[in-house]
């Protein structure tokens, strides 16, 4: 389902860009002054897929009775909305800030079983709203012609760092609910830290249209902080890191 949705978004973005380009007059260069702007602003909208990476201890298969001995991450889709500010450092080098809100709602983080009850597969569920603050160095090519139009597009790559802050999951009083086949439904406390930092890499294409620049982009985001708070439930897990894959469309002036 997620794979089909991702393909529909990419196809929709390409059709939108081609339709705008079809309105252009051949030979006309749009926004020729854009390359000389010292800075410019914009907004972004897209989808992301997140998942946790678990580094297990050596005694993972024989933990104490209160810890997990099987754990499996769950993929989660979320909507991301952001603002965009880009500072030009040189002709092909830019510095970009893209503060973004990730709206995930209630999501299943992972499934697990405990050593004292191997028959019940339980699910850790939490409401989440993450603020993502990435700062990236962006390297872009010269403009080039495409679709029979002059200097209409360019490609770029970027690398940078990020800070993530979960507005809901970071609260120590947040309760995670579990759902499984057993009759008891005692809630678990939060097992993950709400603040993360890491690095991001990605690539994209910019299409220069009469009144705006449209840039579809793919980004890979990797957390570096151990998110495991040391709860007894996850005592058999050495560390936990969070990863994201973003598909975003930037609209800039």
pLDDT digits (tens, 9 = 90+) for 151-205: 999 999 999 999 999 887 644 434 444 554 444 455 777 788 889 999 999 999 9
Residue 104 pLDDT grade (very low, low, confident, very high; cuts 50, 70, 90): confident
Burial class (CB in 10 A: 0-12, 13-18, 19+), 221: buried
Specify whether the CB–CB gap between 29 and 151 falls below 8 A: yes
Domains, the chain, ranges and CATH? 2-252 (2.40.160)
Longest dimension (CA), the chain: 72
List residues bridging with 217 in a β-sheet: 204, 248
**Taking the C-alpha atoms of 222, 176, 239 and 167 in order, what is their torsion angle to the nearest 10 degrees?**
40
Answer for the pair 175, 126: CB distance below 8 angstroms, yes or no.
no
Which of 201, 171, 204 has the alpha carbon at shortest distance from 189? Answer: 171
Q: What are the strands, taking DSSP E only, across 57-116? A: 68-73, 76-88, 93-97, 100-114
Check whether 68 has a pLDDT greater than 90. Answer: no
Per-residue pLDDT of 179-192, as tens digits, reads 544 444 557 777 88
Helices (H), the chain: 2-21
Residues 50-67 have pLDDT tens digits of 999 999 887 777 766 778
pLDDT tens digits along 114-148: 888 777 788 888 888 899 999 999 999 999 988 88
Instruction: Give which of 191, 174, 32 is closest to 109, Cα–Cα.
Output: 191
Query: For residue 89, what is the DSSP state?
Result: S
């Amino acid at each position: 389902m997620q794979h089909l949705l991702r393909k529909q978004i990419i196809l929709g973005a390409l059709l939108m860009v081609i339709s705008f380009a079809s309105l252009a007059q051949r030979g006309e260069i749009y926004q020729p002054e854009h390359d000389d702007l010292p800075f410019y602003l914009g907004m972004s909208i897209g989808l992301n897929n997140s998942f946790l990476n678990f580094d297990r201890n050596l005694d993972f298969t024989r933990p104490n009775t209160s810890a997990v001995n099987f754990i499996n991450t769950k993929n989660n889709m979320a909507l991301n909305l952001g603002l965009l500010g880009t500072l030009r450092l040189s002709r092909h080098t830019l510095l970009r800030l893209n503060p973004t809100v990730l709206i995930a709602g209630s999501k299943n983080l992972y499934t697990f079983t405990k050593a004292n009850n191997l028959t019940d597969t339980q699910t850790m569920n939490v409401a989440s709203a993450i603020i993502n603050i990435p700062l990236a160095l962006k390297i872009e090519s010269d403009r080039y012609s495409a679709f029979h139009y002059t200097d209409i597009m360019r490609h770029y790559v970027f690398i940078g760092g990020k800070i993530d802050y979960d507005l809901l999951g970071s609260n120590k009083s947040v309760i995670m609910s579990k759902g499984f086949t057993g009759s008891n439904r005692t809630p678990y406390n939060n097992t993950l830290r709400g603040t993360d930092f890491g690095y991001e890499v990605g690539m994209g294409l910019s299409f220069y249209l009469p009144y705006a620049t449209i840039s579809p982009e793919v980004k890979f985001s990797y957390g570096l902080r151990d998110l495991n708070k040391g709860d007894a439930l996850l005592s058999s897990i050495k560390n936990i890191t969070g990863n994201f894959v973003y598909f975003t469309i930037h609209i800039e002036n």
